[in-house]
Structure 1
Amino acid sequence: MSTTITPLVREVLPECVRTATGAPSLHNSQPWKFRIEGARVDVYADPSRRLHVLDPQGREQLVSVGAALFTLRLAVRRSGYRSDYTLFPDTDEPDLVARLTVTRPSPVSPAAEALAAAVAHRHTNRWPFAQIPVPREALDRLRDAARREGAVLALANPAGRDVVLRLARVADERLRQRPGYCEELARWTGDRVRNDGVPPEAIGPWDALESVPVRDFTEASAQRRNGEAFEPYPTILVLATEGDRKVDWVRAGQALQRTLLTATWQDLATTPISQPVELPAVRRLLIEPGSGLAAQMVLRVGYGRAVEGSPRRPLSEVLLKSDHRRS
């Protein structure tokens, strides 16, 4: 069914796509593309930007695309419209992850406005956090954010936190021994001017206490990484879904981004810790076997210093030309 929209919607959709590119992604690979057709935005996974060493199944790529989809939905909402979306709408196009359609004008709620305003301020923080407990009310808001997107966010208790961090360190060591790991890392880091990847100023120090496993992006370069003492008892959350199919990975990405933006709105710093979910054998150990849940991401949250954002590709690189035959 076609949707009739005003010229104003056609004008705002490119800016909504630009906002969507502010979503997080593995190594800031930005593995997405978009196509606008009237009131519709198709969201694609870009296979050329998948990290095959760390993400052979494409799970993390779909988590990233899911985060971009949520950000697109939020940008459309902030523009004064509601939307619907369908996941994997065309079996003949496996890279077409979602099709979003603008439906009708609608007043913007203060909650949506606040969440959308957080997009520009959400940055991965790889620095030490203050030794200040995160209030229960703030954690409840994060759990509610994940629940709204069909996911579960669990707070690790002290014993569980130590287990998760130990598994993360084990996974980090195993991943560094994988053939091609350093070469893939080098592709997404470096001092050269670029509009993707992890820039030097976003890398952060290593943990002198060897508690928090922050990925070392300097392995593939001559850059030196200083050490600092991180918080000894970090707040660790595990994001999980009831299933572990492609649609669940996209759902996890949407839940992840809503959670991260909710944290940003509360002045909380966040660090996705992806190493333990990049090894299937380790990922299975993050959740109780009888829970029926699949872990999708580990998050560290707390109060940290202000950090700069990583670069983003221009709209011209991510927005595909319209194909009027498909309208």
Structure 2
Amino acid sequence: MESTSFDAEALETCFSAAVSAPSIHNAQPWRFRLDCDTVTFEVRAAPERGLRLVDPTGRALLLSVGACVFNLRVALDHFGWVPVTRLLPRPDDAGLLATVRPARPTAREGQVLGVDLYEAIWRRHSSRFPFSGSSLPVGVRTELEAAARGEGAALSFCEGAQRGRMLRLTAEAEHRNRLDADRAAETRHWVHLDRGPVPDVGLPWNVLGPQDRWGRLPLRDFTAQRRPERLSARSFEVDPVVALLATGHDRRVDWLRAGQALEHVWLLATAYGLRMSLMHQAVEWRDLRGALRVAGGGAHPQLLMRLGYGPEGPATPRRAAGRAPGRTARAGDRPPRRPSRPYRRDGL
């Protein structure tokens, strides 16, 4: 493979794809820099956007960064480059979480991801609304499991008693979150009330979704004080499709791999017309995460995900490199077309 160069429009497109990744509470805890000498994207964490109580180890932050890295890989792959990715590439620089260098494929190399997931980047949104309850085709499940496995993680669909155990642990975590005033306040900090200019991080009211009328599905209550007039309760599916994403080890590099696996699964599910929402609560409590590990067969649980057929969730706001002053970028925004020009090499 030989290195390549590209213009500002392609560069901005890749960054727009990267920042469309999911992140806990839509905190978007990442930073980018382009090393123009080597044409390498550097991805770092933005620790000031971490959650001190919900995510004290930074595990969820690294999952978010991993998802961002995967989107960057997809965008480069879509434009015909081979994304040469290294996780934690410099032991002497702990803040550098990943590098991605675009290279031209040789004659024997085709699309490295196997399927073009690029269009799904712009359509992928969390949906916290009721799903139909229809089961997933076996072939789709198999492909989603293979996608996670290809990124160094394991995706397993929970059935019967195991699913009930997973949901009970999540419900216990949600109960604890509501009773813990400090955690509840930290979570509410990321919810805004749709007044004035829309912040480019956090969660607008319209993306939170309703709660399950019967209390069977423990979706996160981001406000811990739902307002019935804004978010009425509804009936959710009786037998939700729940999957556990886990890794064989629990190191920083495994968290980054799990984030890439999460986004690979999510984009593939989106391409198949599926919706997803995440149930992260149980892994936020050490003892409950341990119980999830036992119930999940011994692997290190990273999160639970709920999948199904249903309404598309609303887009959440996004921070975007190079956006015009005063304009808030939203997930699904395409980068504006503009004449090619040299791109500056300072941090983004």
Using the size of structure 1 for normalisation, the TM-score is: 0.91
Q: 2:33: which partner in 1?
A: 35
Q: 1:263: which partner in 2?
A: 269
1:13 to 11, 14, 33: 11
* Distance of 1:36 and 1:290 partners within structure 2: 40
Q: 1:210: which partner in 2?
A: 215
Does residue 48 of structure 1 match 2:71? no
Give the Å deviation of 1:321: 6.6
Residue pair 1:62, 1:249 contacting (<8 A) in 2 also: yes
Deviations 1:107-139 (A, max 9, x none): 864975631110111111100100211111111
* Distance of 2:296 and 2:246 partners within structure 1: 13
Does residue 150 of structure 1 match 2:152? yes
Q: Which runs of 5+ in 1 are unaligned?
A: none
Give the Å deviation of 1:279: 1.1
Does residue 82 of structure 1 match 2:82? yes
Q: 1:227: which partner in 2?
A: 233
The 3 A distance-change label for structure 1 pair 9 and 150 is farther
176-185 vs 220-229, which deviates more?
A: 220-229
* Distance of 1:208 and 1:247 partners within structure 2: 39
Give the Å deviation of 1:314: 2.3
Q: Which amino acid aligns with 1:197?
A: G
27-36 vs 291-300, which deviates more?
A: 291-300
Does residue 23 of structure 1 match 2:24? no
* Distance of 2:253 and 2:112 partners within structure 1: 29
Does residue 100 of structure 1 match 2:100? yes
Residue pair 2:166, 2:295 contacting (<8 A) in 1 also: no
The 3 A distance-change label for structure 1 pair 259 and 4 is closer
2:321 to 315, 319, 326: 315
Q: 1:250: which partner in 2?
A: 256
Pairing of 1:120-135 with structure 2 (within 5 A) = 120-135=122-137
* Distance of 2:239 and 2:184 partners within structure 1: 30
The 3 A distance-change label for structure 1 pair 215 and 113 is same
The 3 A distance-change label for structure 1 pair 187 and 112 is farther
1:279 to 273, 285, 291: 285
Q: 1:198: which partner in 2?
A: 203
* Distance of 1:102 and 1:83 partners within structure 2: 5
Give the Å deviation of 1:91: 3.1
Q: 2:180: which partner in 1?
A: 178
* Distance of 2:110 and 2:311 partners within structure 1: 31
User: Which 4+ residue blocks in structure 1 deviate beyond 6 angstroms?
Assistant: none
Give the Å deviation of 1:306: 2.3
- Number of aligned pairs? 321
Give the Å deviation of 1:286: 1.6
The 3 A distance-change label for structure 1 pair 200 and 301 is same
Give the Å deviation of 1:236: 0.6
* Distance of 1:144 and 1:276 partners within structure 2: 25
181-190 vs 238-247, which deviates more?
A: 181-190
Q: 1:169: which partner in 2?
A: 171
Give the Å deviation of 1:178: 2.7
* Distance of 2:82 and 2:263 partners within structure 1: 19
Give the Å deviation of 1:89: 1.9
* Distance of 1:14 and 1:220 partners within structure 2: 39
* Distance of 2:302 and 2:308 partners within structure 1: 20
Q: Which amino acid aligns with 2:179?
A: Q
Pairing of 1:296-315 with structure 2 (within 5 A) = 296-315=302-321
What is the root-mean-square deviation of aligned Cα atoms in Å? 2.5
Give the Å deviation of 1:288: 3.3
Residue pair 1:218, 1:225 contacting (<8 A) in 2 also: no
Give the Å deviation of 1:153: 0.5
Among all aligned residue pairs of Structure 1 and Structure 2, give the percentage whose two residues are the same amino acid: 36
* Distance of 2:159 and 2:166 partners within structure 1: 10
1:239 to 198, 223, 245: 245
Give the Å deviation of 1:176: 2.4
Residue pair 2:74, 2:116 contacting (<8 A) in 1 also: no
Using the size of structure 2 for normalisation, the TM-score is: 0.86
Give the Å deviation of 1:88: 1.5
Deviations 1:257-305 (A, max 9, x none): 0000111011011011000111121112123379441011101111111
The 3 A distance-change label for structure 1 pair 163 and 312 is same
* Distance of 1:289 and 1:202 partners within structure 2: 31
The 3 A distance-change label for structure 1 pair 221 and 157 is closer
